[in-house]
Amino acid sequence: MSWGLSNRLNRVLPGLASGTGSVMFAIDHGYFMGPTTGLEDPKKTIVPLLPHGDSLMLTRGILKSCIPKECKLPIVLRVSSGNSILNDDMSNEKLCVSTEDAIRLNASAVAFSIYVGAEYEHQTLVEFSKLINEAHRYGIPVLAVTAVGKNMDRDLRYLSLASRIAAELGADMIKTYYCEDFSRLVNVCHVPVVIAGGKKIPEADALQLAHNAISDGAAGVDMGRNIFQAESPSDMIQAVRSVVVEGVSPEDAYKNYKSSLR
Ligand code: 5RP
């Protein structure tokens, strides 16, 4: 790994060096979901939360139009797209942002979705591999966003299949979903694994999920809806951070969260 790539990776996931988890704040949902609840006005709702994240995952459109130029967070730029929630099969994505533009936007990493077991599996895996060739030429780490076919359970079998394939193809970090026996998935990937939060669930459950993932070896969370759709997004990102980075128990983090609402 070149010094530049390693340095960028450690800025995106600072917990790798300190031995804690890291908080990647994900707000890229609009690239296929449009005006997602909680992200309608990112300047108003998201910018105040930035000081509490370690890195920010988003599209170039929202980066350019809503994120202040003084932003200190390392940027994880989504570079795959080509689909919308209106399609039954969501896997028809390709590489849509050049590495040149990622560099121009000062991205610290790029993120690409692979769809294992889906209709466009082959296309996404080949495009992903080509992205790695290109991004690594410039020392830019690549985050594999793993998705599995729509008829597949998000369980250890399929999620570890998708995650290990991503690692074999050269991913520098992997985003997947938490599942039973998650530590077995982490153990077969050999690169840092972060978990997505998934659909909004009660805050106490989201904090428990974050705790379970870190306890099972995740390098952090790549969490979006469970932060920006929480009753108080600002208090929620701080609660998630307390669990993931400071090792606060999910029960105490939830108590703190509830008391900060009053
Ligand atoms: C969307 C993504 C999201 O960034 C990822 O799923 C994390 O967000 P959430 O916690 O809301 O699931 O990759 O494709």
CATH code for the domain in which residue 76 is found: 3.20.20.70
Q: Tell me the CA–centroid distance for residue 224 and ligand 1, in Å.
A: 6
Instruction: Return contacts of 93-102, CB within 8 angstroms, 24+ apart.
Output: 93/120, 93/123, 93/124, 93/127, 94/123, 94/124, 94/127, 95/127, 95/130, 95/131, 97/60, 99/131, 99/134, 99/135, 99/137, 99/138, 99/140, 101/60, 102/77, 102/135, 102/140
Tokens 């390709």 correspond to what residue?
94
> Catalytic residue at 175?
yes
- If one counts the domains in the chain, the total is 1
**pLDDT of the residue at 19:** 95
Could you tell me how far CA 209 lies from the centroid of its own chain?
A: 15
Catalytic residue among 94, 130, 175, 199: 175
Q: How confident is the model at residue 180 (pLDDT cuts 50, 70, 90)?
A: very high
Among protein residues, the one whose CA lies closest to atom 1 of ligand 1: 29
Q: Does residue 262 surpass a pLDDT of 80?
A: no
Whether 133 and 156 have beta carbons less than 8 Å apart is answered as: no
Is ligand 1 within 6 A of the CB of residue 90?
no
Q: Tell me the CA–centroid distance for residue 98 and ligand 1, in Å.
A: 21
Q: Tell me the CA–centroid distance for residue 89 and ligand 1, in Å.
A: 17
Give the pair of three-digit tokens for residue 192.
């840092």
**pLDDT of the residue at 150:** 77
Q: How confident is the model at residue 147 (pLDDT cuts 50, 70, 90)?
A: confident
Q: Tell me the CA–centroid distance for residue 199 and ligand 1, in Å.
A: 9
d(C-alpha 261, C-alpha 100), whole Å? 43
Is ligand 1 within 6 A of the CB of residue 145?
yes
State the Cα angle at 81 between 2 and 154, rounded to 5°: 85
Residues 6+ apart with CB under 8 A from 189: 160, 163, 164, 166, 167, 174
Specify the pairing of strand 107-116 against strand 220-223. unpaired
Among 224, 258, 253, 228, CA closest to 241? 253
Is ligand 1 within 6 A of the CB of residue 220?
no
**pLDDT of the residue at 135:** 98
Mean pLDDT of the region 196-204: 97
Its domain, for residue 17, covers: 3-260
The amino acid at 68: P
DSSP letters, 190-229, are -S-EEEE--S---HHHHHHHHHHHHHTT--EEEE-HHHHT
Is ligand 1 within 6 A of the CB of residue 164?
no
